[in-house]
Structure 1
Amino acid sequence: MLRFFALLIGLLLSTGACLADGRFPLTVTDALGREVTIPKKPEAILLGSGFNLVALSLIHPDPVSLLAGWASDMKGDNPAIYEAFREKFPKIADVPLIGDGTGNGFSFETILSLKADLAILANWQADTDLGRQAIAYLEQIDVPVIVVDFNSDPLRNTPDNMRLLGRVLERDEQAESFAQFYEEHLAVIRERVAAHPEPGPTVLMDAFPNDQGCCFAYGVGGLGEFIGLTGSRNIAADLPRQGGIVSIEYLVAANPEAYIATASPGGTYSAFSIGPGVAPEEARQTLRNATERPILADLAAIRNGRVYGLWNFFNAVPLNILAAEAFAHWLRPDVFPDVDPGKTLAEINTRFAVVPFEGAYWISLK
């Protein structure tokens, strides 16, 4: 009888394993519309951008265990996030680096040595000549490549790209839970704006403000999409989708009613410091300093105190719903008095994040 039960348990376990692996080989469609076939469940993944570890960490309990190699961009630009992951997953320090996260930074020699079974690239990498060469090279050595996009069209792409990762990693339930959470929060904004069609303020979104001139303004793509989401008006809407330089004369004529600066921690690219590991007091003071430039002083936004700051790398991670809520609360406070990105982040940390996200990711001078 004991032998019978042992055989039965063994049969059940082997059947469960077969069912778990039953989806592979798996064919999926990535963010670029490419059909990609993945022969087996990925266990040795290359991350072309280190920021995509954030996406994995929202649906997998040990995302570092999946890595064969990754890029250094998140570690370099946002060291506090890296340190938080290292504290929980010390083995991350031993994961080989395959590049710097830019489309021109891949090390093909390192990639060849890692015996990966999947590569995940960000859309901005796939759009470069070397990125396309990397995809071709990886496919040549039988490493399937999927491209994810939390950047160029985030409101449309973020939920579906999380579902894509969930499908590939056999974490469908977790990915669907996050995608629905995202869509529910986004629906609140869209429904209220539809019920209040009057236009919101005119807005300048200034990327990495500095003393060298003015200003690189976000266009209607990427984080700039969130301005239009709230029914507000982007003064750089006529620039290329990704944005571009606006002159002082253009800025004075537009006279934006609200000003949003974006930056990263530690003043790497700007004297304004905001993001993981940054205290609210530091973010607020450095934002105030950034807006004391003479070229901004006479703008309506500055004079009326409608000055805000945002972590720029929301344009690389599925946490961008927090940016959408911050914009809604800042730009249309009469319509969104109860929308609180801080509460939303707390729920993300409780329900989804294997490593909590801490720091000042958005700030207001008021």
Structure 2
Amino acid sequence: MKNRKRLFLLVMILNFIMGTLAVANSRKLVTITDNVGRQIDISVPVERAVVTLRYNNELIRACGAIDKVIAVDMNTAQDREYWSNFNVEDVVGKNQKSLNYEKIIKLKPEVVILPSNGVYKEAEKKLAPFGIKVIVVSGYDTNDFHNQVKNIGIIFGKEKEAEKFERYHNEPLEYIQKKLKGVKKRTVYWEDAKDYYTSFPGSYYYNMIVASGGENVFENVGGKVNVAQVDSEAVISRNPDVIVKNISLKSTIKGTGVYQAPSKEQMEEAVENIKQRKAWSDITAVKNNDVYLMSQFGHGGASKMIGAVYMAKWIYPDILTDLDPDEIFRVWLEEYQGFKDIKGHFYPSIVNNK
């Protein structure tokens, strides 16, 4: 009997060793170039990752690898419906700029994924001694979508899923580009959730406007990047054809978005506030009722592709007749995020926008 027990134990140990070796042999060392141009050697596929920024987690989920993410930031985890698989008590920091390194080290991830506007340089210094790689993925960067989704596919061993996701992302943007070739551009004033804050060449919101086929009214303002404040007169003098403003559910962390849409009343009030601004009644967009809203949650889907297609439809409804932003958004939520389609993130609705 003892011999049988010893034999059984030996077989179990051998099976464990063989399984471990099999996993090790299935991994390979690759070199990727991240969103800020750093070349990083990493053993893939990764099984344990800490990821900050909702956009990044959405891209990972779209590629079928969210089960490899062991912890996120509070800006992500705050949405208990959309990210119920992550415990708010186990977040690794408020956001990509404020991290709890002690907790990260305790979790023993193989990689930490941060966006370019996060503290990736600091994180690299603090985590390198523990063998934890820091990779920059910026889910809001429309222009680097191909490289970032390709990297996600490689990191998590989901190359085929990443390729399928990229085809979904590219198809409507290619249609927009094709249909608007040679068409005179209509001008757009995009505004952040904060009044009078807008985008300039070099910002990710600016790139979203470009992808929509519109022309930013601040196209020729150089020297600024990201979002900056302008005065009311600067907008009036540029007389935009279309106005698009971001909006957040009032209960969310400032500047973030959640699955629940803002109320219709909040949307109506925001549009009316824009129209009632001093001297804005003479702006073409206001006169023609071309004032639109998109939520922080809705517009950012698929590296702001969702925002771009809604903007394109609002700007060129008579040209982009086959573009269906509502269906594209539905596919994003239901097929790539695993959630039921939800209305109210874009206002007015496409059906009733004219």
| Partner deviation per Cα, 1:75-106 (whole Å, 9 max, x = no partner) | 34xx3xx31331xx3xx226621111142x11
Alignment-derived partner of residue 117 in structure 1: 110
Deviation at 1:269, TM superposition (A): 7.7
Q: Structure 1: where are the runs of 5+ without partners?
A: 1-10
Give me the whole-angstrom Cα distance separating, in 2, the residues matched to 1:314 and 1:148.
20
Letter in 2 for 1:83: E
- The number of aligned residues is 332
Of 70, 74, 77, which residue of structure 2 is paired with 1:75? 77
Deviation at 1:107, TM superposition (A): 1.4
Residues 21 and 41 in structure 1, CA contact (< 8 A), matched pair in contact too: no
Alignment-derived partner of residue 303 in structure 1: 287
Residue 48 (structure 2) pairs with residue 66 (structure 1): no
| Partner deviation per Cα, 1:277-335 (whole Å, 9 max, x = no partner) | 12662453233233244233432211210011112356755252211111111111121
Residue 41 (structure 2) pairs with residue 37 (structure 1): yes
Of 207, 211, 229, which residue of structure 2 is paired with 1:229? 211
Give me the whole-angstrom Cα distance separating, in 2, the residues matched to 1:140 and 1:274.
35
Residues 283 and 360 in structure 1, CA contact (< 8 A), matched pair in contact too: no
Taking a change above 3 Å as real, the CA distance of residues 164 and 233 of structure 1, as seen in their structure-2 partners, is: same
Alignment-derived partner of residue 172 in structure 2: 185
Taking a change above 3 Å as real, the CA distance of residues 85 and 97 of structure 1, as seen in their structure-2 partners, is: closer
Residue 290 (structure 2) pairs with residue 288 (structure 1): no
Residue 135 (structure 2) pairs with residue 146 (structure 1): yes
Give me the whole-angstrom Cα distance separating, in 2, the residues matched to 1:349 and 1:50.
14
TM-score, with length taken from structure 2: 0.82
Give me the whole-angstrom Cα distance separating, in 2, the residues matched to 1:343 and 1:224.
24
Deviation at 1:164, TM superposition (A): 1.0
Further displaced range: 355-364 or 141-150: 355-364
Deviation at 1:46, TM superposition (A): 1.0
Letter in 2 for 1:99: G
Alignment-derived partner of residue 10 in structure 2: none
1:203 aligned counterpart, secondary structure: strand
Alignment-derived partner of residue 189 in structure 2: 204
Residue 314 (structure 2) pairs with residue 330 (structure 1): yes
Give me the whole-angstrom Cα distance separating, in 2, the residues matched to 1:181 and 1:21.
33
Taking a change above 3 Å as real, the CA distance of residues 315 and 38 of structure 1, as seen in their structure-2 partners, is: farther
TM-score, with length taken from structure 1: 0.80
Give me the whole-angstrom Cα distance separating, in 2, the residues matched to 1:96 and 1:162.
26
Letter in 2 for 1:233: E
1:259 aligned counterpart, secondary structure: strand
Taking a change above 3 Å as real, the CA distance of residues 363 and 94 of structure 1, as seen in their structure-2 partners, is: closer
Taking a change above 3 Å as real, the CA distance of residues 356 and 32 of structure 1, as seen in their structure-2 partners, is: farther
Letter in 1 for 2:81: E
Residues 67 and 95 in structure 1, CA contact (< 8 A), matched pair in contact too: no
Residues 279 and 359 in structure 1, CA contact (< 8 A), matched pair in contact too: no
Deviation at 1:341, TM superposition (A): 1.0
Of 341, 344, 355, which residue of structure 1 is paired with 2:328? 344
Letter in 2 for 1:289: E
Alignment-derived partner of residue 3 in structure 1: none
Taking a change above 3 Å as real, the CA distance of residues 315 and 18 of structure 1, as seen in their structure-2 partners, is: farther
Deviation at 1:50, TM superposition (A): 4.1
Map 1:200-279 to 2 at 5 A: 200-210=185-195, 215-220=196-201, 221-237=203-219, 238-239=221-222, 240-266=224-250, 276-278=259-261
Give me the whole-angstrom Cα distance separating, in 1, the residues matched to 2:61 and 2:115.
16
Residues 29 and 42 in structure 2, CA contact (< 8 A), matched pair in contact too: yes
Give me the whole-angstrom Cα distance separating, in 2, the residues matched to 1:145 and 1:274.
25
Taking a change above 3 Å as real, the CA distance of residues 349 and 243 of structure 1, as seen in their structure-2 partners, is: closer
Give me the whole-angstrom Cα distance separating, in 1, the residues matched to 2:77 and 2:272.
26
Letter in 2 for 1:84: Y
Letter in 1 for 2:73: A
Letter in 2 for 1:290: N
Give me the whole-angstrom Cα distance separating, in 2, the residues matched to 1:267 and 1:172.
37
